[in-house]
A and B are shown apart, each in its own frame.
Chain A
Amino acid sequence: MLHGKKAGRTGYLKEKYRDMIFYILLIAFPVVQFSFFWIGVNFNSILMTFQKIEIDVTAGQYVTRWTLETISNAFQNMFGDPAMLQIMWTSVLSWFLILIIGTPLGLIFSFYIYKEFPLSKAFRVILFLPSILSAIVMATIYNFFVERAIPAAASEWFGIQGVSGLFTNTQTRYGTLIFFNIWVGFGTSVLMYSNGMSTISQEIVDAAHIDGANGLREFWYISLPLVWQTFSTFVIVGVAGIFTNQINLYALYGGSAPLNMQTYGYYLYMRTVAAAGNSAEYPPIAALGFIMTLIAVPLTLLVRRLLEKFGPKED
């Protein structure tokens, strides 16, 4: 009996040991990968903020020295250079416009799909289409359409001569760019919102109908509060977009977007591409990114807190 118990315990320990070996073998790669490409990369990025890298021509290698000059220059650049202040304004404005125009449209489109009104299934597929098509393809088509087809149509169909391309015209180019970003940006959010709405209990909807809530009132008082969690997630994740969203500028303009249309996301990417692997160019970019992260983290947490505090409650 005692022998049997001992054998059982040994078997149990052997199995636990085998489980542990299996666990370690499979978790090792993801952990090592994470250590290098998240912890290592971000740690190195912080270190670069306090470095200056120069090329030693005689030795033919990079020389790194520690300095506060890089972060200090980045700070002055970000808050003192008129060009960077313009980029800050465009980044915030673009985020705000896409949020206040694109999000309500996405929500009401989702409501239409959720209610299974006519053609809702087709709309669901079509609204998702731009998000799976390549940004570079959509941008190229849109670019030439507004530059060539719209002026030609104005002239041939409406007899209006001298209409310039919407991106060429400095008065219309920013609006055209924001329209493009909203136009191609419904896909995932509409899918998420409509799927979220479809989980709303039918009893709640029926009760609202009995109380006379239909159409807009149902959307406002029932559907919107119940997808608030999904909406909040999009807004919270989107806050970082102020610093990372390129609003498709690289696809439309390559490295030569007009200054008053540039965003932080575009500026950082463009500088990384322009560096072309030259390490000496990296510390100033890392320092700018570091300052932006210092702003983005508390801002994200603040927006999260505000949405939790002032958002509608499900009950």
Chain B
Amino acid sequence: MKSSGTRSAAPREKFTVFSAILLGLLILYVISLFIPLFWAFVTSFKDQNTDFRINVIGFPKEWIIDNFRTIFMEFSYSVDSVAGTRQVGVGMLYLNSLAYALGCSFCATIVPCITAYLCARFPYKFSKVICMTVIIVMVIPIVGSQPSEVQMARMLGLYDTIWGLWIMKANFLGMYFLVFFGIFKVLPKGYSEAAKVDGAGNFTVLFRIVLPLVRNTFFTVMLINFITFWNDYQTPLIFMPSFPTISMGMWQMASTNIQNFATVPMRMAGAIIMLIPILAIFLAFHKRLLGNLTLGGLKG
């Protein structure tokens, strides 16, 4: 695991022509990033008929919030099933997103965390097998297994349920196993041993001593996972079509032909509604997200 701790030690360097070119490129990038976002924000306050049709790039003649109100009050996601078509409103889309993202992010964090703890602290041969498996699976690229995954989910009764996806995402594979493994390997054993001398069992040591010690890393990994699952529309689209999320709603709105919502200002309002929760999380926790992440892992 690498640490980003030496960053602040680097002294300010001489500003060369190369640096000036880089600064220019970065400024161009930032401008190119913010102009479309700003345009989307401004457009979301325009009326399609009286404003946007004749004023695509200017500021709104009158700032209106009707687009946002219409989306909250009237937009719904159509779910087609054998029983017929069912409409799911924005409130329910948010709730589904929350249930999907919270559950999956917790499962996708706790499982690698506990598996890594077992492998790091219990040097059985099987622990070595688990570690080798993680490395091998990371190196072998498997393509096109999604249909088989759908079949498996159906066979186990997990298809088209939110909790089914929690179970499907609760695997120990991937980078975060290595992150937790690295931490548990170097975590001093003194606390656990002292607790054991006082009569604590393995479960007490794990849940009352070890997990609180790695709570910072745990929270950061869970936060990254939460953002990933909140933004994910492709997995729910295939695996839980009856429980649409806000991302799926945005995807449907981006391609809808329903007159009320098929306008650019309305779609931009939808995009802004979708952006706000993640932007708020990012602004609140960006130091934690940016500061803890390295390729080798995350520091605790």
The verdict on A86 contacting chain B, using a C-beta distance below 8 Å, is no
Q: Which of B59-67, B137-145, B213-221 contacts A (4 or more CB under 8 A)?
A: B137-145
Q: Complex Cα distance A128/B289, Å?
A: 10
B159 CB to nearest chain A CB (Å): 8
Contact B133 A34 (CB under 8 A): yes
A–B complex contacts, Cβ < 8 Å, 5 sampled: A45-B145, A112-B19, A141-B268, A254-B255, A300-B139
Give chain B residues whose Cβ lies under 8 Å from the Cβ of A139.
254
**CA A272 to CA B167, docked complex, whole Å:** 21
CA distance A112 to B251 in the complex (A): 36
Q: Which residues of A contact B29 (CB under 8 A)?
A: 109, 127, 183, 186
Q: Is the CB of A33 within 8 A of B295?
A: no
**A132 lies within 8 A of B278 (CB):** yes
Known: A191-B290, A215-B17, A230-B295. A289 touches B171 (CB 8 A): no
Chain B residues within 8 Å of A290, by CB = 144
Q: Contact between A48 and B33 (Cβ–Cβ < 8 Å)? A: no
Q: Nearest B residue to A31 by beta-carbon distance?
A: B130
Across-interface contacts of A140 in B (CB, < 8 A): 250, 254, 267-268, 270-271
A23 / chain B contacts, CB cutoff of 8 Å: 118, 122, 124
Seen from chain A, the residues whose Cβ lies within 8 Å of a Cβ on chain B are 18-19, 22-23, 26-27, 29-30, 33-34, 36-38, 40-42, 44-45, 48, 105, 108-109, 111-112, 114-119, 123-130, 132-137, 139-145, 148-149, 152-153, 156, 183, 186, 188, 191-192, 195-196, 198-199, 202, 205, 214-216, 219, 230, 233, 236-237, 239-240, 243-244, 250-251, 254, 264, 268-269, 272-273, 275, 277, 279, 281-283, 285-286, 288-290, 292-293, 296-297, 300-301, 304
Residues of A within 8 A of B194 (CB): none
Q: What is the minimal beta-carbon distance from B295 to any residue of chain A, in angstroms?
A: 5
Q: Give chain A residues whose Cβ lies under 8 Å from the Cβ of B234.
A: 250, 269
**CB distance A198 to B10 under 8 Å?**
yes
Contact A286 B147 (CB under 8 A): yes
Q: Note all chain A residues with C-beta closer than 8 A to B231.
A: 132-137
User: Does B201 touch A at the CB level, under 8 Å?
Assistant: yes
Could you say which residues of chain A place their CB within 8 Å of the CB of B146? 268-269, 272, 285
Interface contact A115-B122, CB-CB below 8 Å: no
A153 touching B171, Cβ below 8 Å: no
7 closest A-B pairs by beta carbon, nearest first, are A289-B144, A240-B141, A215-B18, A282-B147, A215-B16, A152-B56, A45-B148
Question: In whole angstroms, what is the CA distance A27 to B25 when docked?
Answer: 50
Interface contact A198-B4, CB-CB below 8 Å: yes
A contact residues around B264 at 8 Å (CB) = 144, 148
